[in-house]
């Protein structure tokens, strides 16, 4: 059994499906054929038994039959109409039949009927010539007294050959066998057709997968027909290839944008370093003020490179990757720490804060970096000696600057990677800060957005995170 199952599993799916369909149909046809044969046999037997019970043997026929048995040479009794065979059975088990009729074997039930111990008996027996007979035996009670016959001294058996049932059943069995064979062949053909038709979408999917593996062409799509499991599989494959293609495009775009952003600070660094190296090689000293400016520029470019590389490392993590263990943290404490760093970056700015307690579940380091990025943007775009208003109320952290603001048509792009407003491209930065903010807030289950200030110049950055004003018990 185990070996058969192993061989079955080794077959292709199409062959297994065809074999399964053929077997199921063949078994169903065989079961119907067997049921038909047994029902037909039962009906024929019932009809034969009913006909035997309805036969009425006359007193005259019994007297003639007795005479032919007791007086040899006397004319034998004629055969009953309908090919019925009549046999008399005595209490001793002896029989009396017409001269040209082969006697039928007597059973104990027949003798019991003849002895008056039972009313009738119905059974199958064999005649002396080997013919199988269906026999109905009943106690004979003449309507009129027969001379020399004692009442209850014998029984009458009426019989017909079982060939009347066996021959039609044999013919029916051959017919059903042929029909079952044809049905089995038809089931095999139907199973093969069903397998080919049902697995055609699977073949298309296999070809598509092999094509993608061979050519890395992610534009392949499988037509989706219907709403069955195959259609769902095709739709899932199309969604998967679309997601892979989008991911590859984003990766390529990230590399291209990163290369473009790295080119500017690297070019500036190379130029400044070449000037310093040429000064050392030629012995022509650079004026102290110019040298100091060059070194300041080198440091600024190195800082920008370090920041850009850090941002790239942060964005290199897949969006669906585990953001790290989430912890219950105090958003107001994180905001207060970020405010201290912002005051160091813009000592000439006035930063006003109104923070109410709010506890959220997030990755502490990532959330702090997101808040720092929002405050850095506010510092960067604030005018000299400007004011930045920071508030935390009911889970919404708002940072409002009084800078030039962002045009309405550019608000939809501010969270895209490497996107920078045309008016801000002269300022330092990589265009990655807000995209990092958006991803961190989304991973924490929150929302982030920018909107124009309602009462003047500037922009309001709003971060809303789910949480509570009180820490959970036991924290």
Taking each helix axis from N to C terminus, what angle separates 2-10 and 13-53, rounded to the nearest 10 degrees?
A: 130
Predicted confidence (pLDDT) at residue 380 exceeds the cutoff of 60: yes
What was the pLDDT predicted at 442?
A: 85
Predicted confidence (pLDDT) at residue 68 exceeds the cutoff of 80: no
Predicted confidence (pLDDT) at residue 45 exceeds the cutoff of 70: yes
CA distances from 265 to 258, 259, 261, 346 (A): 12, 11, 8, 23
The average confidence (pLDDT) of the chain is 78
Predicted confidence (pLDDT) at residue 329 exceeds the cutoff of 80: yes
Predicted confidence (pLDDT) at residue 378 exceeds the cutoff of 60: yes
Residue 116: which region, alpha, beta or left (left: phi > 0; alpha: psi -120 to 50)?
left
- Averaged pLDDT, 158-166: 89
| Element housing 341 (H / E) | helix 331-345
> Given pLDDT bands bounded at 50, 70 and 90, which one contains residue 279?
confident
What was the pLDDT predicted at 433?
A: 67
Question: Does 327-468 match 229-316 at the fold level?
Answer: no
Task: Show the tokens assigned to 463.
Answer: 């971060």
What was the pLDDT predicted at 420?
A: 55
Query: Which among 36-45, 70-79, 246-255, 443-452 has the top mean pLDDT?
Result: 36-45
Provide the residue ranges of all domains of the chain, joining segments of one domain with +: 12-217, 229-316, 327-468
d(CA 423, CA 421) in angstroms, rounded, equals 5
What was the pLDDT predicted at 46?
A: 92
Task: Give pTM, 2 decimals.
Answer: 0.45
120 SS3 class: strand
324 SS3 class: coil
As a whole-number percent, the residues of the chain with pLDDT over 70 amount to: 78
Q: Does domain 229-316 have CATH number 3.10.20.30?
A: no
> Given pLDDT bands bounded at 50, 70 and 90, which one contains residue 320?
very low
Write the burial class of residue 149 (CB in 10 Å: 0-12 exposed, 13-18 middle, 19+ buried).
middle
What was the pLDDT predicted at 75?
A: 46
Lowest mean pLDDT among 66-75, 195-204, 452-461: 66-75
pLDDT digits (tens, 9 = 90+) for 293-304: 778 777 767 776
The number of helices, as runs of H, and strands, as runs of E, in the chain is 10, 13
> What is the rounded radius of gyration, in angstroms, for the C-alpha atoms of the chain?
52
More confident residue, 244 or 336: 336
d(CA 463, CA 320) in angstroms, rounded, equals 21
Distance of CA 78 to the CA centre of its chain: 78
Distance of CA 368 to the CA centre of its chain: 43
Which fold would CATH assign to domain 327-468? Heat Shock Protein 90 (3.30.565)
Longest dimension (CA), the chain: 166
What was the pLDDT predicted at 43?
A: 92
- Averaged pLDDT, 411-435: 59
What was the pLDDT predicted at 359?
A: 92
DSSP 141: -
> Given pLDDT bands bounded at 50, 70 and 90, which one contains residue 271?
confident
> Given pLDDT bands bounded at 50, 70 and 90, which one contains residue 136?
very high
Predicted confidence (pLDDT) at residue 125 exceeds the cutoff of 50: yes
d(CA 65, CA 374) in angstroms, rounded, equals 124
Distance of CA 363 to the CA centre of its chain: 36
């Amino acid at each position: 059994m185990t070996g058969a199952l192993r061989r079955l599993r080794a077959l292709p799916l199409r062959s297994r499906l065809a074999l399964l369909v053929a077997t199921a149909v063949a078994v169903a046809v065989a079961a119907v054929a067997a049921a038909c044969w047994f029902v037909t046999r039962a009906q024929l037997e019932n009809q034969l038994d009913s006909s035997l019970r309805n036969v009425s043997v006359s007193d005259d026929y019994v007297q003639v039959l007795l005479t032919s048995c007791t007086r040899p040479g006397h004319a034998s009794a004629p055969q009953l109409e309908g090919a019925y065979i009549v046999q008399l059975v005595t209490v001793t088990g002896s029989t009396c039949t017409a001269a040209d009729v082969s006697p039928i074997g007597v059973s104990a039930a027949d003798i019991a009927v003849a002895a008056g111990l039972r009313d009738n008996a119905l059974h199958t027996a064999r005649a002396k010539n080997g013919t199988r007979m269906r026999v109905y035996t009943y106690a004979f009670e003449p309507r009129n007294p027969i001379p020399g016959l004692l009442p209850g001294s014998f029984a009458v058996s009426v019989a017909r050959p079982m060939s009347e049932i066996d021959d039609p059943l044999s013919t029916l069995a051959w017919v059903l066998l042929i029909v079952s064979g044809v049905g089995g062949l038809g089931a095999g053909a139907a199973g093969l057709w069903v397998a080919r038709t049902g697995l055609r979408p699977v073949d298309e999917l296999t070809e598509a997968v092999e094509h993608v593996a061979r050519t890395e062409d992610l534009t392949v799509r499988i037509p989706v027909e219907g709403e069955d499991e195959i259609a769902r599989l095709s739709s899932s494959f199309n969604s998967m290839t679309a997601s892979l293609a989008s991911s590859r495009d984003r990766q390529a775009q990230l590399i291209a944008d990163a290369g473009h952003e790295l080119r500017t600070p690297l070019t500036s660094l190379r130029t400044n370093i070449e000037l310093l190296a040429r000064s050392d090689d030629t012995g022509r000293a650079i004026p102290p003020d110019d040298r100091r400016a060059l070194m300041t520029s080198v440091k600024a470019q190195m800082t920008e490179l370090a920041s850009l590389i850090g941002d790239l490392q942060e964005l290199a993590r897949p969006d669906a990757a585990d953001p790290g263990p989430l912890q219950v943290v105090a958003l107001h404490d994180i905001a207060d720490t970020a405010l201290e760093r912002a005051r160091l970056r813009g000592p000439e700015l006035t930063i006003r804060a109104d923070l109410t307690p709010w506890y959220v579940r997030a990755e502490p380091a990532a959330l702090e970096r997101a808040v720092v990025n929002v405050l850095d943007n506010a510092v960067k775009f604030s005018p000299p000696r400007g004011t930045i208003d920071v508030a935390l109320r009911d889970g919404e952290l708002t940072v409002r600057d009084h800078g030039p603001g962002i045009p309405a048509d550019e608000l939809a792009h501010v969270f895209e990677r490497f996107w920078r407003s045309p008016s801000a491209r002269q300022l330092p930065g990589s265009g990655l800060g807000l995209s990092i903010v958006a991803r961190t807030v989304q991973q924490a289950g929150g929302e982030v957005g920018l909107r124009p200030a309602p009462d003047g110049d500037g922009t309001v950055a709003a971060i809303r995170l789910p949480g509570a004003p009180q820490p959970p018990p036991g924290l």
